Amino acid sequence: MTLSGPFRPRFWRSPLRGPWLTAALGSVLLVLVAVVATTGFLSHVAYQPELPGNAIVDPGADLPMSFAWPAGFTYLYAITQGLHVNVGLVAIPFLLAKLWSVIPRLFAWPPVASPAQGLERLSIALLVSSAVFEFVTGVMNIQYWYAFRFNFVVAHYYGAIVFAASLVLHVALKTPVILRAYRERGVLKPLREDLARTGPEPADEHGGLVAPSPAAATLSRRGLFAVVGAGSLALLVANAGETIGGPLRRLSLLAPRRQVIGPGPNDFQVNKTAPAAGITADMTGPGYRLALRHDGREISLSREELLAMDQHTARLPIACVEGWTTTQEWTGVRLADLARTAGAAGAAPALVRSLQPRGVLGRASLNAGQLGHPDALLALKVNGADLSLDHGYPARIIVPGLPGVHNTKWVGAIEFA
Amino acid sequence: MRDRYGASPLHLLAHLVALPLVAFALLQIAERGDAMRIVIWLALSAVVHDLLLLPFYGLLDRAAQRAAGRSVNYVRVPLLLSGLLLLVFFPAISGKGNGAFHGVSGLDYEGYLARWLLITAALFALSGVTYLLRGRRS
């Protein structure tokens, strides 16, 4: 039979495609994706799903992967999650270029020549699907576009397992091909060719990547890398200010969290406002009491009583899972002091409950290291002023290195184990 | 083995490590109410990329080549950067994400479309200046 359209090898004309180009793009992509995947799974650990009230993914259906997330590094989650989101953006142009470099393989004929090839095509389909899925859902989530109407956390997490498994398989199978391409063509040598010297790679007998009748080159290989790298840089510059903060926030022209609200002590980014969480004035008025529970006993404290306790000030970030960070100066009572007051010194974990009637994240448990850290606070003030209602008045948690939403706002009760 | 299977036994073993992990992940969502939507999005991800997005920008590139000939890179590079920014920040630029964003944060995606247009203009301007400078030199 005669093949037509993209199934015809001569349909593919770019002189740049070949085993070296795919190996080189894939090598860069692998490094980037390794950072994104590692920080992604670290984020899962940072939520401490094994503690009461924290799990979003059903703990009975989770991988055995957890350790006590430390409070010792103030910017730990800001860094890991900042890397996850920003390196994720940087990886997108390389993912697109890598997929472009191998697109002729999608139309290989016959589609399945052997059981081995059939199996490999299945795993490639899983790899490409899960890769695109992870990037699309991640990018949509940081911009609050929930058109997919499924639980983002669950889908992104299990999608990541599909992606990681099929990626490790792919790298294992392709390592000999990558090494051969580097051995035959040199690791960086093709990057030294200018446009005039850019021609097709030597024909590969079973790869099917090198065009049999290529068009003249319009871009050198180093030109391609420069353009893809420029794309990565553009995405990074457009977003990274929301992670780094300060004056850079306004310079990131397309970052979802670039808004600067005002000069006041409470004018920094709000993850969820009081009205969105269902917080009303009577919950936080003069009748407000914080309940400390331990061993069947309960102590309740008014905000005045909390203000009368030893106050401690710390400069700590709120680091959101969406990759944005805002660092402020918080003042309040050390969680360790509250534990002592409740007769629960050293008790862990502690479940912190918000007054908010709505939302999956109306509660979060803290581990022993977090409860005992000297900068871990029940904050009453920020930048010298009372917390605003949107930032958690009358009292909120702020703990170094913690995922943003676990810094529970409008704290109604702390239950020590 | 190699004759009938088409590759070394290691090839098969590697698949038999990875594919059960994939099955594990898919099984964990199978009971969920939103399982079907997740699977559809997963499957459509590859289809939309491979059969829509990639052919679309391939055609766009070919059109740019026909229009600009040897100077194609002065058109294609700013076009690619601008398109990439639109693709990634589409929810903010188009305002598609604004409803939920405003609902939780009280903020709005203001001026994203305007800034993207200005960035696009700046990219093409930069490319034009480069073309002029290089053209004059050669």
Shared-domain flag, residues A78 and A179: yes
CB-based contact A52:A408 (threshold 8 Å): no
CB–CB of A133 and B45 under 8 A? Answer: yes
Shared-domain flag, residues A113 and A224: yes
Q: Would you say residue A396 has pLDDT above 90?
A: yes
Shared-domain flag, residues A245 and A281: no
Residue labelled with tokens 């389909």: A125
Shared-domain flag, residues A143 and A184: yes
B 39-98 residues with CB < 8 A to A = 41-43, 45-46, 48-50, 54, 65, 70, 72-73, 77, 80-81, 84-85, 88-89, 91-93, 96-98
CB-based contact B92:A242 (threshold 8 Å): no
CA A194 to chain centre: 38
Neighbours of B33 (CB within 10 A): 8
Kindly state whether residue A262 falls inside one of the protein's structural domains: no
Phi, psi of A240, deg, nearest 5: -60, -20
User: What total of structural domains would you count in chain A?
Assistant: 2
**CA atoms of A332 and A302, how far apart (whole Å):** 13
- For chain B, the structural domain boundaries read 1-31, 32-137
Q: Minimal Cα–Cα distance from A147 to chain B, Å?
A: 9
Provide the domain limits for residue A199: 5-251
| Interface size between A and B, measured as CB pairs under 8 A | 193
**What's the pLDDT score for residue A47?**
96
**CA atoms of A273 and A284, how far apart (whole Å):** 14
Shared-domain flag, residues A114 and A9: yes
pLDDT tens digit string along B41-67?
Answer: 999 999 999 999 999 999 999 999 999
- A251, A284, A301: which is the final residue of a domain? A251
CB–CB of A151 and B34 under 8 A? Answer: yes
What is the ipTM for the molecules in this complex?
0.96
- In sequence order, which ranges of A240-301 are alpha helices (DSSP H)? 241-244, 248-251, 274-277, 281-284
**What's the pLDDT score for residue A175?**
96
- A214, A236, A251: which is the final residue of a domain? A251
Shared-domain flag, residues A329 and A230: no
Q: Is B134 on the interface with A (CB under 8 A)?
A: no
Shared-domain flag, residues A65 and A141: yes
DSSP-based helix, strand, coil % in chain A, nearest 5 = 45, 15, 40
Kindly state the percentage of chain B with pLDDT values over 70.
Answer: 96
CATH number of the domain at A278, please.
3.90.420.10
Kindly state whether residue A190 falls inside one of the protein's structural domains: yes
Q: Would you say residue B2 has pLDDT above 80?
A: no
Minimum Cα–Cα distance from A162: chain B residue:
B22
Neighbours of A19 (CB within 10 A): 22
Selected residue of A41, A218, A236 to mutate for chain B interface (largest B Cβ count, 10 A): A218
CB–CB of A169 and B18 under 8 A? Answer: yes
Kindly state whether residue A296 falls inside one of the protein's structural domains: yes
Kindly state whether residue A329 falls inside one of the protein's structural domains: yes
Shared-domain flag, residues A168 and A238: yes
Q: Minimal Cα–Cα distance from B88 to chain A, Å?
A: 7
Q: Would you say residue B137 has pLDDT above 70?
A: no
Neighbours of A17 (CB within 10 A): 24
By C-alpha distance, which of A148, A323, A145 is closest to B99?
A145
Which string of b and e fits A338-353 if b means at least 16 CB within 10 Å?
bbebbebeebbbbbbb
**What's the pLDDT score for residue A257?**
96
> Which of A124-138, A270-284, A306-320, A352-366 shows the lowest per-residue confidence on average (mean pLDDT)?
A352-366
Q: Please name the residues in contact with B114: beta carbons below 8 A apart, sequence gap of 6 or more.
A: none
Kindly state whether residue A100 falls inside one of the protein's structural domains: yes
Kindly state whether residue A302 falls inside one of the protein's structural domains: yes
**CA atoms of A139 and A85, how far apart (whole Å):** 8
pLDDT bin (cut points 50, 70, 90) of residue A306 is very high
**CA atoms of A355 and A290, how far apart (whole Å):** 10
Q: Minimal Cα–Cα distance from A157 to chain B, Å?
A: 9
CB–CB of A145 and B96 under 8 A? Answer: yes
Contact residues, chain A, for B28 at CB < 8 Å:
57-58, 61, 158
pLDDT tens digit string along A180-203?
Answer: 999 999 999 999 999 999 999 998
**CA atoms of B102 and A281, how far apart (whole Å):** 21
**CA atoms of A349 and A339, how far apart (whole Å):** 11
pLDDT bin (cut points 50, 70, 90) of residue A143 is very high
Shared-domain flag, residues A173 and A280: no
> Which of A19-33, A249-263, A356-370 shows the lowest per-residue confidence on average (mean pLDDT)?
A356-370
By C-alpha distance, which of A328, A341, A344 is closest to A396?
A328
pLDDT bin (cut points 50, 70, 90) of residue A178 is very high
pLDDT tens digit string along A57-116?
Answer: 988 888 888 999 999 999 999 999 999 999 999 999 999 999 999 999 999 988 999 999
Q: Is the pTM of this model over 0.90?
A: yes
Kindly state whether residue A93 falls inside one of the protein's structural domains: yes
Kindly state whether residue A258 falls inside one of the protein's structural domains: no
Q: Minimal Cα–Cα distance from A335 to chain B, Å?
A: 27
Q: Which two tokens stand for residue A165?
A: 């498994």
**What's the pLDDT score for residue B136?**
58
Residue labelled with tokens 């960086």: A188
Question: A291 - beta bridge partners?
Answer: A300, A413
Shared-domain flag, residues A58 and A207: yes
Shared-domain flag, residues A68 and A34: yes
pLDDT tens digit string along B14-28?
Answer: 999 999 999 999 999
Nearest Cβ partner of A143 from B85, B92, B115? Answer: B92
Shared-domain flag, residues A97 and A241: yes
Q: What is the mean pLDDT of residues A24-40?
A: 98
